[in-house]
Structure formats: C-alpha cells, structure tokens
Amino acid sequence: MARTPKPLPSLDWLKPRLAISRAASLASFLALAVLLLVWNLLFAELPGTLLWVILAFQLAPLLLLAPGLILGNARAHAWTCFVVNLYFIQGVLAAFDPSKALFGWLETLLSFSLFCAALMYTRWCFQYARRLAGES
C-alpha cells in the first residue's frame, strides 16, 4: 500500500514562520557567541595567552557559520544544527560543575534554542523552495 505524500504548506503559511525562525536563529547565535566571549573574558580566570587560544577554538566554528546564517542560507542553518551539538555537550558538562553551573545552563539553553530554530528554518526554507518550484 503506497502512502500519499503530505501536501506542502501554502506560501502564506510559510513566510511568517521563515521570518520568525530566522530571527530566532540569529538571536540565539549572537547570544551564544556573546555568552562565550563574556564568560571567558570576565569569569574564566585564564592567563592571557591561553585565554585567546581557548576563545579562538570556541568561536572558530561559529565564525565559519556566521556568513551563511546572516545571509539566510538554508544549508548553513542545516550545518549549524550539526555544529551546535558541540556547544550543547560543553554546556551540559559545565552545568555539572558548581563553579560553572550558570554558564553551563545558559550555554545548553542557547544551543538548544539555536538548534531548534535552525532546524525549523531549514525545513520551512526547503518547503518554500519546493512550493515556489510548483510542487504541491
């Protein structure tokens, strides 16, 4: 028995969801980057040289994704879903350390919200493109 595919949502239904999920992705992305900067600069108590090395390693994946996210590229949002899992894991591990618990919970929350928003943007963007191409 063959299953019939679900029809694609209308363009009017997709447009506001694309805008909201893109805004949520950008806001979560920016908040995650700011959290990493602020935490490492103000609270991590690392020596100067080590501080910059750690910041470079933590921010490099985000900086690689930034141009695509800013431009609204669906594939960059899809890649963000993979990369942000590293920050989620780091946040969960930090949440178990009492001295980093606040940082850990914030990083976990921001990475989770970025994952969800980027995932929904990717899905709706591809549905939007298929609908524009004339698929039903």
- Per-residue 3-state assignment (H helix, E strand, C coil) for 83-114: HHHHHHHHHHHHHCCHHHHHHHHHHHHHHHHH
How far is the C-alpha of 5 from the C-alpha of 39, rounded, in Å? 47
Q: Which residues of the chain have pLDDT under 50?
A: none
User: What pLDDT, on the 0 to 100 scale, is given for residue 1?
Assistant: 67
What would the two tokens of residue 16 be? 């506001």
How far is the C-alpha of 66 from the C-alpha of 6, rounded, in Å? 33
Contacts of 17 (CB under 8 A, 6+ apart): 120, 124
H helices, E strands: number in the chain: 4, 0
User: What pLDDT, on the 0 to 100 scale, is given for residue 96?
Assistant: 96
How far is the C-alpha of 132 from the C-alpha of 40, rounded, in Å? 45
User: What pLDDT, on the 0 to 100 scale, is given for residue 12?
Assistant: 92
- pTM for this predicted structure: 0.91
